[in-house]
Every structure is written in structure tokens, then in C-alpha cells.
Amino acid sequence: MESIIDRIEQEIAAWEPAVGIEEVGTVRATGDGVAEIDGLTNAVLGEMVLFDETFARSLEDALRDPAPVYGLVLNLEEDAVRVVVLGGSEKVREGMLVRRTKRQLSIPVGESLLGRVVNPLGEPVDGKGPTGATHLHPIERPAYGVIDRASVNTPLHTGLKAIDSMIPIGRGQRELIIGDRGTGKTSVAIDAILNQKSEAKEKRPICIYVAVGQKESKTAKLVAELAEKGAMEYTVVVTAPASVSAPLQFIAPFAGAAVGEYFMDQGKDALVVYDDLSKHATAYRQMSLLLRRPPGREAYPGDIFYLHSRLLERAAKLSPEKGGGSLTALPIIETQEGDVSAYIPTNVISITDGQIYLEADLFNKGQRPAINVGISVSRVGSSAQTKAMKKVSGKIKLELAQLRELEAFMQFSSDLDPETKRRIDAGRRMTAVLAQGRSEPLPFEMESAVIFAAINGYLDAFGPEQIPEVEARLREFLDREAGGILLAIKESKEIREETERALREKLDAFLSRTGVR
């Protein structure tokens, strides 16, 4: 059966005319990164065009230019086409020749991109020379249909106890990370990338981090952190910083999806982080207004929903007949003053399979990650959890929900009965157990063991303020003396009866050493 890539390449080839006649237009007007072009009557929406000084050289020679200026056809009008210039717009002037390439905008993809930092056109920006990628993949293509997909049932562990236990993410899922500026959204995504190092190499997802409209210094810092912790060997970074034009920021997430799809089509798992789609929407609004598309709600064009839906629908878990690969999407949205009911946040919430909401108030109280478990949800749920995590995570949400309810009640009553006080202490203790520092992801077997200890009363003798220190000592103890138990959980993905018995013995031994038992 032909693959979707073969079909797309055949469709692109079908654009070529029967005779080798080049189609050339001229720039009628240009400004703000948009060019209006006469003469390209057969241009196709989404086609790449080439701005060229002279018609004397062949199209192949022009494409091999060290710094070619490309455009993307986005408006098809009665007497002209409007094109956005993909970088180098200062070189474009009235009367300049424009050639059809008869190609859909595509970028080079392949294994050689691993460990590299590239721009949205697939060109290296890390100073390490050419990437060597030769396979061209269209940045936009139809998402896989329902028949080609399988149910999401394999976990993608983030290494964050709060997420893996209560808001599990599956391979092929789309999980939104949403919150105000400075609440740790990028940190959650980077921890998820770092945690993949704990996976076996053959099962490890390829990670793609797409930085849209970010400061270059922030992206450089993240790349350095990933390299230092050995994560760049399975990661590709696509960057379109705030300093580049809106069209390049617009295509960046699609370029990241194209890189991920290449690996998904090879039967592998991939994870792509879009950081962030708020800035992506702003770039699209800017570009659309310059293209004279009518503005709608909050000045965004009417197709902004379609823009993000066709991007995020490309995340999928493929059926075994299609190779069984997956593409998991973690889009990030920045809210203003916690307003999740604004236009872009509600759009992306309705497209995705759940959201992780990071709350500024919790962040300011010192909770890390600052997840509001009340409105955070995974619509895939326990289908994307191992049996071990299912077994230990059942009671957590209930205890935290009781804590929120009782803390609200405490504001009106100073005299608490012993049962209420016990429940509040249990909720605060669980909140402390789920707290985790930045860049400290845990393997899921360690997460399962720690949460098992918490829900089975092994930490009840300690106050909430003691939990961070006690948990660190417990993890060190388990690493040192319960390696076989952790390995059994890792390999079987569940806590069997004999494993549970052995784990309880080790936990009793730990409490004896701390002087509690």
C-alpha cells in the first residue's frame, strides 16, 4: 500500500507542466514582508515561489543560490497573487522577477537533524555546518484519517509525579499546557523531554522543541541545558525567534510537525512541543492583516481556529497497518491574568485532548509544578497509564479535592475537629509529595514507589514541611537498597503481589531507620 508521503509526492509531481515552460511573474508592489505579484495565474495556494534578480540562469541554479529569497503563496486574487516573503524581504523590490517552483513548501528532514538547531526552512542556525538531511517533507499535509489511527494506550511519561499520576499523557495525544507568563509552562515541557532519556533507546520518543517568538537567549539556554543533560542526541530544535519575520514564525510549528511526522511514518514515536501558540496566533494575525484578510474577534482572522486545528490534528497514534508510530503534541498557550476564556485559549482547549493548567497563585505560594488539579484534565485518562501508576494514583485527586474544599471552609472556622484536621494534613502532605523541582524528572517506577508510600500511610508520621527532605532520603534509600523491586516495576509495568510485599518490607525498614517504627 502506498504511503501518504508517496501520494503527496505524486500530487506535487502532477503540478509540473507537460512542457518545460517556466512561469514567471513580476512584483507589482511590496512592503511589510508581503509582495503582490502579476503574471502567476497558475500559482497554487501553499506553493513556494522564488524571487530572482535575473532570468538568465536556470531555476536549478537559482535554487542553489547561497541565500535564495523564497515566498509562500497565501492569497489567490482575481488579477494577482499575494505572497509572504520568508526572510530577506529587504531584497524584494518592485519589478523583480518571481518564478514558480511548482513545489509545495517543504523542508529537509531525516535522522541527521537529531542534535541540531534549525530555522523553519530546515536551515542550520547552530554553526555546525549543513545538516545533511535530504528527504523533503511538505510542512502542511492532510492529517491521518480515523481508519489509519489506533487508540491512545501507551503512556508518555513526563517524569513529573503530579502529571503522570493525575493527568496522564499518552503517545499520540494532544495535551495543552496553559497558564500565565512565568508559571513554569516551558519547564514542564522541557522536563518531559529530559525524562525520555530514562526510556530504553529503542522505545525512546524523538523530541522536537519548536520555539516561536521566543528570545534567542532563552532558546540558547534551553539548548545548552538539553545538551548538558544528554537530551540533544534525540532532540531537534526548530527556532523562529521574535527577531525574525511573522511568516517564518507562522510556518515554524508546521515545520516541527513535519519533522515529527517523518519519524512517525518510520514507525517511531515522536513528541513535539509548540512553545507557544499564542505568539504563533499573533504572528498569523499580523501576517493576515497585511494580506488584507478581514479581522474578526480580537482582530484575529476567521480561520485562526482552522490554523491550529489542522496543526494539532496531525498528532496521532497510527494503526499497526500504518507502522504503529505516533506523534504526541504539547502545545503551550500563555494566558493574561488567568483568563482561560479568551479567544485563542478556548480555541486550543476545544481542539486538544485535555489541558494542564498552571496557576499563578499556586506558583507564588511555592508549589512546583503549579498545577491546578481542579481544572486540569486528560481526556485519555487511565488508558494511558501503566497498571502500576493506576494502582497508586486512584486516591490522589480525592484527597486534593477534599483539601481544596476544607481549606475554603477553614476561612470561616477557627475550631477544627480532629477528622477535618486529619484530612487537611493528608491533603497538604500529598501536595508536598507531588511537588518537584525544575529539571528533576523521575523514572515512572520511582514515581510509583514514592506515591505508593504516600497513599499507604508510610509518610503519615511526618508533617507536610518535612516531606521534601524525607522523600529525598526515601528515593536515595530505594535506589540503594530496592533496585530489584524498582526494576520489577519497570519491566512488568505493574506492582504485583510479591513486588508489593517486598516494597512494603523495604518501606518498613526505611521507617525503622528514621526512628518512626
**What is the per-residue DSSP string for 35-55?**
EEEES-TT--TTEEEEEES-S
- H/E stretch holding 382 reads none
Please tell me the pTM assigned to this model.
Answer: 0.92
Q: Say how far apart CA 141 and CA 136 lie, in whole Å.
A: 13
In the residue annotation, 310 being an active-site residue is answered as no
Q: Say how far apart CA 359 and CA 370 lie, in whole Å.
A: 6
pLDDT, residue 191, reads: 97
Which of 149, 165, 493 is closest to 327 using CA atoms? 149
Q: Say how far apart CA 280 and CA 299 lie, in whole Å.
A: 14
pLDDT, residue 449, reads: 95
For helices 497-514 and 467-481, the axis angle rounded to 10 degrees is 120
Characterize the bridge pairing of strands 135-138 and 117-118: unpaired
Could you say which DSSP state residue 174 is in? B
Contact 240, 120 (CB under 8 A): yes
Place of cell 523553519: 120
Q: Say how far apart CA 448 and CA 454 lie, in whole Å.
A: 10
SS3 345: helix
Could you say which DSSP state residue 204 is in? P
SS3 363: helix
Could you say which DSSP state residue 170 is in? B
Q: Give the other-Cβ count within 10 Å of 16's Cβ.
A: 10
- How many Å separate Cα 494 from the centre of its chain? 28
pLDDT, residue 425, reads: 84
SS3 37: strand
Which of 253, 255, 261 is closest to 280 using CA atoms? 253
Q: What is the mean pLDDT of each run of 10 residues along the chain (517 residues)?
A: 55 47 87 92 92 71 74 93 91 92 92 96 93 92 94 94 94 97 96 94 95 96 96 97 94 97 97 96 96 93 95 97 97 95 96 96 91 90 88 82 75 71 85 91 94 92 91 94 94 93 95 79
Exposure string (b/e) for 130-148, b if CB count within 10 Å is 16 or more?
Answer: ebebeebbbbbbebbeeee
SS3 95: coil
Q: Say how far apart CA 322 and CA 9 lie, in whole Å.
A: 18
SS3 243: coil
Q: Give the other-Cβ count within 10 Å of 334's Cβ.
A: 19
Cα angle vertex 365, ends 196, 402, to 5°?
A: 85
pLDDT, residue 12, reads: 52
Longest Cα pair distance anywhere in the chain, in angstroms? 89
Q: Say how far apart CA 157 and CA 514 lie, in whole Å.
A: 31
Q: Say how far apart CA 342 and CA 333 lie, in whole Å.
A: 11
Contact 255, 122 (CB under 8 A): yes
Q: Dig out the grid coordinates for 432 from the structure.
A: 508536598
Catalytic residue among 297, 379, 473, 513: 379
- Cα dihedral 44→50→54→58 (10° resolution): -80
Contact 311, 257 (CB under 8 A): yes
SS3 159: coil
pLDDT, residue 247, reads: 94
pLDDT, residue 16, reads: 47
Contact 478, 471 (CB under 8 A): no
pLDDT, residue 68, reads: 83
- Alpha helices, DSSP H only, in 385-417? 387-393, 396-410
